[in-house]
Structure formats: structure tokens, C-alpha cells
């Protein structure tokens, strides 16, 4: 209930600030749970991903330090967040999202690069998707990269790619991970080209990421 209420509030605020976002290929989203993966370009792209995929509800990982604050802990739990130690993830970083996905009510938002300042794809999303028996759904965000830039009303576009189904016979060793990582990166590149071939992600630190 709180998730739905908060989504409505956030949608209204973002609409007033930036206008209506453009969502592409929504009809291609699976009916059941999935792992939504995308390059992490701004701190609010997961918010836009969740709005674009409505009415599907999502869970997400958050660094465990945020749960030490009682207010943040209450808020994160009510929007389906769960804590992860980024330095030493441990088995729960896989088991918790797999359990959530198997229950069927929630999907999962993950950023395979792990950080807005990294372009390296990590393998956790593929492992979780395979163990839970759900597809990976690639998504990209194009638009303002800072909260201040949102007020410029530069258009926001969210685009979804075709689901990536992981063969249960595929071993997710180094070679298998490389296969899935290439599929994800190819999907991100294809979506970026489709929406705006001139788009280039620029890190807030000033480092350009193609």
C-alpha cells in the first residue's frame, strides 16, 4: 500500500518538475517477475525504471549503512529494499533476491555495473536470474543526470529491451558470465542507438562514458 502511495507522490513531483517521461517498449515486458538491469547513470534512474514498468512492483538492493538510520530503515523496508554489504556481500546477497523473485509478487531492479562510476558488468544479476528461473530485462535511461538538470525539463526516456532468458544448462563460470554480459551490453547499446544515437553518458565527476 505504501509503495503504491509513494509511487503516486513521486510521479506527481517528477511530472511537475520535468514533465511527462517517454516510455518505450512497455508492451514487451514479461507478465511475471524478472530482473530489470540497466547501466546506472543517475541516482534517480531506478525511480524512473519502476514508474515505467508499472504496475509491476520492485525490490532492490541498498547498502547496509542506510539501514542503520531508523528513518531510512523504515522507508527502505516499506519500498521493498533489503540491505547488502557491498564490500563483503555474502550468500544473502544472492539468496534474498532469489527468494523474493520466486514468491512472484515482486521483480528486482539491479545495476550490473554496481556503481554510476563504473562501466564494468558484474555477474550477480545473471546468477540471481538463473537461480530464480526468471529472465533479465535490459533497460536504459536517457535524460538529465542531476536533480538540478531535471528542472531544465530536458526529456526523459526509458526504453526496455527484449527479455534475456538464461539457459538453465548454461554454467555461469567465467565463460558463461561473459556470454550473458555481452548480451546485456549489446542490448543497452542497441536501445541507446534506437532512442538517441548521439547520446553519451557523462559521469558527474566529468569522466565521459560511451
Is 2 part of a structural domain of the chain? no
Model pTM?
Answer: 0.87
pLDDT, residue 210, reads 44
Is 187 part of a structural domain of the chain? yes
pLDDT, residue 121, reads 59
Grid cell locating 39: 547501466
CATH number, residue 89: 3.40.1130.10
pLDDT, residue 92, reads 81
Element (H, E) at 174: helix 174-195
Report how far apart the first and last C-alpha atoms of the chain are (Å, whole number). Answer: 39
The residue segments making up the domain with residue 163 are 22-195
Is 81 part of a structural domain of the chain? yes
pLDDT, residue 208, reads 47
Among candidates 158, 195, 160, 151, which has minimal Cα distance to 19?
Answer: 151
Is 4 part of a structural domain of the chain? no
Triad 151, 38, 84: Cα angle to 5°: 100
Is 5 part of a structural domain of the chain? no
What is the number of domains present in the chain? 1
> What is the mean pLDDT of each successive set of 10 residues along the chain, which is 210 residues long?
83 91 94 95 91 93 86 87 80 90 95 62 84 96 91 93 93 92 95 91 58
Is 85 part of a structural domain of the chain? yes
pLDDT, residue 93, reads 85
Distance CA 88, CA 107 (A): 24
Amino acid at each position: 500500500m505504501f509503495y503504491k502511495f509513494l509511487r503516486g507522490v513521486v510521479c506527481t513531483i517528477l511530472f511537475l518538475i520535468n514533465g511527462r517521461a517517454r516510455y518505450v517498449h512497455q508492451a514487451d515486458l514479461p507478465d511475471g517477475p524478472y530482473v530489470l538491469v540497466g547501466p546506472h547513470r543517475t541516482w534517480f534512474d531506478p525511480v524512473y525504471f519502476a514508474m515505467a514498468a508499472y504496475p509491476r512492483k520492485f525490490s532492490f538492493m541498498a547498502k547496509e549503512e542506510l539501514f542503520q538510520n531508523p528513518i531510512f530503515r523504515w522507508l527502505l523496508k516499506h519500498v521493498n529494499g533489503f540491505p547488502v554489504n557491498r564490500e563483503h556481500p555474502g550468500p544473502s546477497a544472492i539468496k534474498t533476491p532469489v527468494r523474493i523473485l520466486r514468491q512472484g509478487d515482486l521483480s528486482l531492479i539491479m545495476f550490473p555495473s554496481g556503481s554510476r562510476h563504473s562501466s564494468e558488468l558484474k555477474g550477480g544479476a545473471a546468477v540471481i536470474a538463473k537461480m530464480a528461473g526468471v529472465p533479465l530485462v535490459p533497460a536504459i535511461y536517457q535524460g538529465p543526470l542531476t536533480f538540478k538538470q531535471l528542472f531544465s525539463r530536458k526529456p526523459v526516456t526509458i526504453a526496455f529491451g527484449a527479455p534475456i532468458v538464461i539457459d538453465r544448462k548454461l554454467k555461469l563460470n567465467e565463460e558463461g558470465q561473459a556470454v550473458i554480459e555481452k548480451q546485456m551490453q549489446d542490448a543497452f547499446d542497441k536501445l541507446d542507438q534506437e532512442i538517441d544515437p548521439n547520446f553519451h553518458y557523462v559521469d558527474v565527476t566529468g569522466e565521459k562514458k560511451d
